[in-house]
Structure 1
């Protein structure tokens, strides 16, 4: 099962209706918690997300609204008796901050620290790309392996059905029939997570082919000067990432408290998002994973 649970959508300052950041991705056997800001543990209770489901925690950077909830989450996992290993990924320049936060948590968790400082894979199916913010920051992409989709008409013409289909998939050939004769390449589904950044090459790489693209949308297009000053994205820029990457669904989040109606930001993003479906996230939203990005 693949599903994204939105735990918080505020940027620097939480509001009455928006908690600090927090995003939980259910990805088959993995449970990946991204950027747990202050209050994430309580938001998990409201969302029905068990701490025992977390297998990885990924920090884009160590600004407080993206990591101050870490000690509470780790302590809750100890309280709940989590025994499986938990992997914590973060930029290497945040080592001191991360270790300080971890030191505040209740001891007893099988926690593995994985700092990274360059682009590329950091775990099976997970890669990072550098972003452009006021401190070192990285975005994440989670990808399933590519596969093949069978073509029923070609299977029928080849006289292959039932258990033989599975055998052909496993062995790659059945008699004179090759797997590629009766199937087409199917790209693995992709999830991309982009937080605090200005437009940069890394953000475009992450967005490429994303079925579900989560990105900050801190400022309105009308406040582009502020976005440039603080190295954040406007709604329109978030939409441009989705269009360039031909993303299937764009989820906007990390909203400045200056905007009471984020529907306006979603409208701006739609103008530049191409064929992507645009969603302005709210706290506690549950978003099923799209089956395939739009072509």
Structure 2
């Protein structure tokens, strides 16, 4: 299963209907929790998310609305007896804050700290890219390698079945039959999370060719001066990011409390998002990754 579970959509100040940040990405056997703000543990209960499903926690930066829920989440994992290792990724400059938050949670789980201070891959398929905020901030990108899908009719015509098929997938050839003879390309899926940032090359890189792009949308276009001052995105800038990157689905979040209704923000983003489907997230929304791109379709 691959889906995004939105645990919170508020920026600095939560509201009656919006919790602080929190996003759980279910990606096959992994559960990646991004930016658990205050109240995330309770939101997990409302969303039906078990603490045991979390395998990685990824912090974009150490502002409180993106990390103050960490102690509660870790303590809950300990209470629930989570036995598997949990990797905690975060910007290296925030290590003092992260260690303090981890210390509040106490022991009880196999937590492995993974600081990063430069762009690059931090786990298989998971990469970080620097953004432009008031403190060191990184976005995350999860990429599935391209592969191939077997075509049953071609396998039958080639006389392959049972163990021979497994061997073909492992070795790429069985006798005169090559893997590409009995399969079609399968484009890998791509997910990216872009949080607090002004427009920058890193945000563009993260958005490029994504199937599901989650991005902050703190301010409306008419408040562009505020966005620039605090190094955040406007709705239109978020939409343009998706449009230039040929993203397929854009999920807007991290809304300022000054906008009780996000309809206008979604409209501003949609006007610049190209062919992307644009969703203004609400707390506890679930968003499935789009179906795979058609074979031969470009990424932008």
Please report the TM-score for the alignment, with normalisation by the length of structure 1.
Answer: 0.95
C-alpha contact (below 8 Å) 2:155/2:161 kept by paired residues: no
Aligned to 1:276: 276
Q: Deviations over 1:32-81 (max 9, x none)?
A: 11000000000000000011111110000000000000011111111111
Q: Deviations over 1:186-241 (max 9, x none)?
A: 23111101100011111111111111110001111111111111110111111111
Aligned to 2:117: 117
TM alignment of 1:147-162, pairs within 5 A: 147-150=147-150, 155=154, 159-160=158-159, 162=161
C-alpha contact (below 8 Å) 1:33/1:58 kept by paired residues: yes
Aligned to 1:101: 101
SS, match of residue 225 in structure 2: helix
Q: Deviations over 1:160-188 (max 9, x none)?
A: 56445544333312332322234343231
Aligned to 1:126: 126
TM alignment of 1:171-250, pairs within 5 A: 171-250=171-250
Quote the Cα distance in structure 1 between the aligned partners of 2:268 and 2:151.
40
Q: Deviations over 1:98-118 (max 9, x none)?
A: 011111113222111111000
Quote the Cα distance in structure 1 between the aligned partners of 2:222 and 2:10.
19
Quote the Cα distance in structure 2 between the aligned partners of 1:243 and 1:182.
35
Q: Which runs of 5+ in 1 are unaligned?
A: none
Quote the Cα distance in structure 2 between the aligned partners of 1:10 and 1:160.
57
SS, match of residue 100 in structure 1: helix
TM alignment of 1:35-74, pairs within 5 A: 35-74=35-74
Q: Deviations over 1:260-284 (max 9, x none)?
A: 2101111111111111111100000
Quote the Cα distance in structure 2 between the aligned partners of 1:15 and 1:261.
12
Q: Which runs of 5+ in 2 are unaligned?
A: none
Aligned to 2:4: 4
Quote the Cα distance in structure 1 between the aligned partners of 2:177 and 2:105.
58
Quote the Cα distance in structure 2 between the aligned partners of 1:108 and 1:168.
44
Distance 1:236 1:152, change over 3 A: farther
C-alpha contact (below 8 Å) 2:155/2:182 kept by paired residues: no
Greater mean alpha carbon deviation, residues 235-244 or residues 249-258: 235-244
Q: Is structure 2 residue 136 aligned with structure 1 residue 136? A: yes
Q: Is structure 2 residue 146 aligned with structure 1 residue 146? A: yes
SS, match of residue 261 in structure 2: coil
Quote the Cα distance in structure 1 between the aligned partners of 2:159 and 2:262.
53
Quote the Cα distance in structure 1 between the aligned partners of 2:165 and 2:151.
11
SS, match of residue 196 in structure 2: coil
CA deviation after TM superposition for structure 1 residue 91, in Å: 0.2
Aligned to 1:24: 24
Quote the Cα distance in structure 2 between the aligned partners of 1:219 and 1:2.
29
Please report the TM-score for the alignment, with normalisation by the length of structure 2.
Answer: 0.93
SS, match of residue 68 in structure 2: coil
SS, match of residue 215 in structure 1: strand
